[in-house]
Structure 1
Amino acid sequence: MELDLTDEQKMLTDAVNSLLEKRYDANTRLDLLEKDDLGWSRDMWKQYAELGLLGLTFDEQYGGAGMGVGELSVVMEAFGRALVLEPFVATVVLGGALVAAAGTPEQKQEILPGVAGGDTLLAFAHTEAGSRWSITDITTTATQSGDSYTLSGEKVAVLGGDVADRLIVSALVDGSVALFVVDGSDVVRSPYKMQDGLGGADVLLADTPARLLGTSTDALEHIGSVLDVATAALCAEAVGAMERMLWLTVDYLKTRVQFGQPISVFQALQFRAADMYVAYEQAKSMAIMARLALADDDVVERRRAVGAAKVQIDLSSRKVGQDAIQLHGGIGMTMEYPVGHYVKRTAVIAKTFADTDTLLETVGADGGLIKP
């Protein structure tokens, strides 16, 4: 089992880190949040396209780079360190991955090159009020008329739904959950900023024209597989965010002076920083486990391993975030200082796709991760 990065992954990491360190400092990000109408940078989106990040996991015949989850993880970890605001998860990790997994060759050729080139934004519209992370508990319906469909229903908290050119929408067809492609101009959106600064929207579908994605009206397997990959990707992003919170805190302890000396000399604070480092390392190991678990053909075992990894990562991110805020004192709560922004993002990640209690139920349903 190879745990170290390959030479290609190291080169990708260096390229992404170099771009973000030059162009995505905390002040630039804050300006995007407060002053830009989009809340993210179109220019950076073009830069991601030029680096091949927007088609990272797509087949080369569709304009992609043909890479795998290992490369996706290193990109997401770098994005976590920089707290990237661009709709990468919505467009590439969710929407693009669903098209790549479920679409016909013609649909892939129509949509994916535009995504890879930075011209097309996607969003996955699945969550509904009261569904509580279930992938089957939906009420949106699809009505067929000849070869075409219309959709009726409402989706909430659609990540990237505020700017998506096309939406991949889940809906019921004869009791099965199918996926459809809907033009963004055909839906009614209520856009807003989420707690972490990323854009989202509630989406109303009222006899909205749609095209079936792929040829099957049963898309649960595709949805589950893409959500497993997306969960592992969020685990990597959370690890990147935790790393930055840890070192921001350590640097602060070294420079903040009280009683005529840096507060880093106080043993109690050293212990707190050490605990943060342990939590970060635990999360880092579990993120690797989540990535490796994606290669498991056994869906149940794969989902259990990915879920268990996210449980630990959510707990670690809460520990690191809370300690970072407390050790920074009042400055950690201000909008001008980055620590609070990292805490918000990791808190949202902990509630994305499933919360800790739901994951614990899933992992423990069949005896836990390690069978007795």
Structure 2
Amino acid sequence: MDFNFKEEQLQLADALKRWIARDYGFEARRAIIRSGSGSSDAAWRQLAELGLTALPLPEAQGGFDGGAVDLYLVMQEVGRGLVVEPYLATVLGTECLKRGGGHAGLLEQVAAGDLKLACALGERGARHDLHDIATCAVPAGGGWRLDGEKKVALHAAQAGVIVVPARTGGGRRDLDGITVFALPADAPGLQITGYRTLDGLRAADLRLDGVQLDAGAVVGTVGAGWTILEAVADYGAGLLCAEAVGAMDALFSATLDYLKTRQQFGVPIGKFQALQHRMADMYIHLEQARSLALLAAVRLDGNDAAERRRAVSAAKYRVGQAARFVGQGAVQLHGGMGVTDELPAAHYFKRLSTIELSLGDSDHHLARFIAQPGFDGKEAA
């Protein structure tokens, strides 16, 4: 297997890196976080001009047919730059629409940078079980009527269209009977309550009270939405792993620079052997996480669902462990400064902590990995 990146992939990542360094520095990011919307229209236009909104889309919709490995490099730079724009939320919404088929008009708008998407996947009490859905959809007037609530939908208040799974049959935790809908953010009966999250991004709670949708709002097949949801959740988890690797890389470098400049007893504290051992351990965690995150991206581009599940859960577990170790180590090595808002280290640590809890935490993915056929040496019946 060739793990060398193509020249055009590296060029795109480098272009994003240079834009972040020039226009999206730490202070600019803090100003965006404090703004009313929590995101920047100017920054979004720049991302679109770089081709990032079109990257994961088919050529037929104005895209570049980019795969998960292409996005792996992009998300690494997003992590390094602590970008708070709704890029990942839009990519996940795009993946939902692509897997469902149709909705070409929406995808064309996304490619052009004219439309942001979001996915409202979680519900109260469901934790990481995305099939635990109480929101219901019933036939009404040739279309559908949706009622229910969704919790912590990333960037839903900034989106023009929100992907919403609802139950059209079966029991609350059944895999069958789930249908995915593309819901306009201005639909009557939809209430969106936005707020800022721990890591500076934006999320929202949704309340659906008799929301009317036409039949064309269905994404994929009625009652068969779980296949889409599971694949999209794996896709998102894999991209979060890539973002975490980028954030850990930047945090490790910042900590190393700090150890070289902070003086104690007349010498840089990086001279102390105990701190050198800590940095070596952090580096090992980072490199192991990088390897598994890249493997997950490769499996996401394949067609084997079983391999995808194993690779994504293995990566999410290992990256989550590394994020905790590297984040905590960096904060400790920075001392009291490590938890202040003025220092990037605290912001990296917050983002890494949130990534670990998103789309399944380490415990969830460890249990999922163990449950996969063949883990105990026995093939599935």
TM-score (norm 2): 0.93
Residue 16 of structure 1 aligns with which residue?
16
Q: CA distance change for structure 1 residues 64 and 369 in 2, over 3 Å: closer, same or farther? A: farther
Tell me, yes or no, if the aligned pair for 1:56 and 1:66 is still in contact at 8 Å. yes
Q: Determine helix, strand or coil for the equivalent of 2:22.
A: helix
Distance 1:268 1:24 in 2: 35
Tell me, yes or no, if the aligned pair for 1:182 and 1:209 is still in contact at 8 Å. no
Tell me, yes or no, if the aligned pair for 2:48 and 2:113 is still in contact at 8 Å. yes
Residue 96 of structure 1 aligns with which residue?
94
Tell me, yes or no, if the aligned pair for 1:157 and 1:200 is still in contact at 8 Å. yes
Residue 182 of structure 1 aligns with which residue?
183
Q: Which amino acid aligns with 1:267?
A: Q
Residues 294-327 of structure 1, C-alpha deviation per residue, up to 9 Å, x if partnerless? Answer: 2443323320221011101000011100000000
Distance 2:199 2:223 in 1: 34
Tell me, yes or no, if the aligned pair for 2:310 and 2:372 is still in contact at 8 Å. no
Residue 159 of structure 1 aligns with which residue?
154
Could you tell me the percent identity over the aligned residues? 40
Residues 69-113 of structure 1, C-alpha deviation per residue, up to 9 Å, x if partnerless? Answer: 111110000000000000011112x11111111032xx22x2011
Residues 238-276 of structure 1, C-alpha deviation per residue, up to 9 Å, x if partnerless? Answer: 000000010000000001111111111111111111111
Distance 1:288 1:181 in 2: 30
Residue 5 of structure 1 aligns with which residue?
5
Uncovered stretches (5+) of structure 1, i.e. residues with no partner: none
Distance 1:271 1:327 in 2: 12
Distance 2:134 2:371 in 1: 26
Distance 1:292 1:183 in 2: 33
Coordinate RMSD, CA, aligned: 1.5
Q: CA distance change for structure 1 residues 356 and 334 in 2, over 3 Å: closer, same or farther? A: same
Tell me, yes or no, if the aligned pair for 2:244 and 2:355 is still in contact at 8 Å. yes
Instruction: Tell me how far 1:217 sits from its aligned partner.
Output: 3.2
Residue 135 of structure 1 is aligned with which of 126, 130, 137?
130
Kindly report which structure 2 residues correspond to 1:219-238, keeping only aligned pairs within 5 A, or say none.
219-238=225-244
* Alignment pair present for 1:73 and 2:68: no
Distance 1:83 1:333 in 2: 16
Residue 288 of structure 2 aligns with which residue?
282
Tell me, yes or no, if the aligned pair for 2:178 and 2:222 is still in contact at 8 Å. no
Distance 2:8 2:377 in 1: 36
Residue 318 of structure 1 is aligned with which of 317, 321, 324?
324
Q: Determine helix, strand or coil for the equivalent of 2:333.
A: helix
Instruction: Tell me how far 1:53 sits from its aligned partner.
Output: 0.2
Q: Determine helix, strand or coil for the equivalent of 2:178.
A: strand
Distance 2:265 2:238 in 1: 45
Residue 255 of structure 1 aligns with which residue?
261
Instruction: Tell me how far 1:216 sits from its aligned partner.
Output: 3.5
Kindly report which structure 2 residues correspond to 1:186-225, keeping only aligned pairs within 5 A, or say none.
186=187, 187-210=190-213, 211-225=217-231
Residue 170 of structure 1 aligns with which residue?
165
Distance 2:268 2:212 in 1: 63
Instruction: Tell me how far 1:277 sits from its aligned partner.
Output: 0.9
Tell me, yes or no, if the aligned pair for 1:85 and 1:198 is still in contact at 8 Å. yes
Q: Determine helix, strand or coil for the equivalent of 2:125.
A: coil
Instruction: Tell me how far 1:215 sits from its aligned partner.
Output: 4.3
Distance 1:52 1:83 in 2: 19
Q: Determine helix, strand or coil for the equivalent of 2:122.
A: coil
Tell me, yes or no, if the aligned pair for 1:83 and 1:241 is still in contact at 8 Å. yes
Kindly report which structure 2 residues correspond to 1:31-110, keeping only aligned pairs within 5 A, or say none.
31-34=31-34, 36-92=35-91, 94-104=92-102, 107-108=103-104, 110=105
Tell me, yes or no, if the aligned pair for 2:316 and 2:361 is still in contact at 8 Å. no
Q: CA distance change for structure 1 residues 370 and 278 in 2, over 3 Å: closer, same or farther? A: farther
Distance 1:266 1:296 in 2: 46
Instruction: Tell me how far 1:156 sits from its aligned partner.
Output: 0.3
Q: Determine helix, strand or coil for the equivalent of 2:27.
A: helix
TM-score (norm 1): 0.95
Q: Which amino acid aligns with 1:287?
A: A
Instruction: Tell me how far 1:355 sits from its aligned partner.
Output: 1.2
Residue 112 of structure 1 aligns with which residue?
107
Residue 357 of structure 2 is aligned with which of 330, 351, 356?
351
Q: Which amino acid aligns with 1:118?
A: G
Uncovered stretches (5+) of structure 2, i.e. residues with no partner: 171-176
Moved more, 347-356 or 237-246: 347-356
Q: CA distance change for structure 1 residues 367 and 103 in 2, over 3 Å: closer, same or farther? A: closer
Instruction: Tell me how far 1:135 sits from its aligned partner.
Output: 2.2
Distance 2:246 2:119 in 1: 24
Q: Determine helix, strand or coil for the equivalent of 1:350.
A: helix
Distance 1:368 1:234 in 2: 26
Tell me, yes or no, if the aligned pair for 1:305 and 1:369 is still in contact at 8 Å. no
Instruction: Tell me how far 1:369 sits from its aligned partner.
Output: 5.6
In the comparison of the two structures, how many residue pairs are matched? 367
Q: Determine helix, strand or coil for the equivalent of 2:57.
A: coil
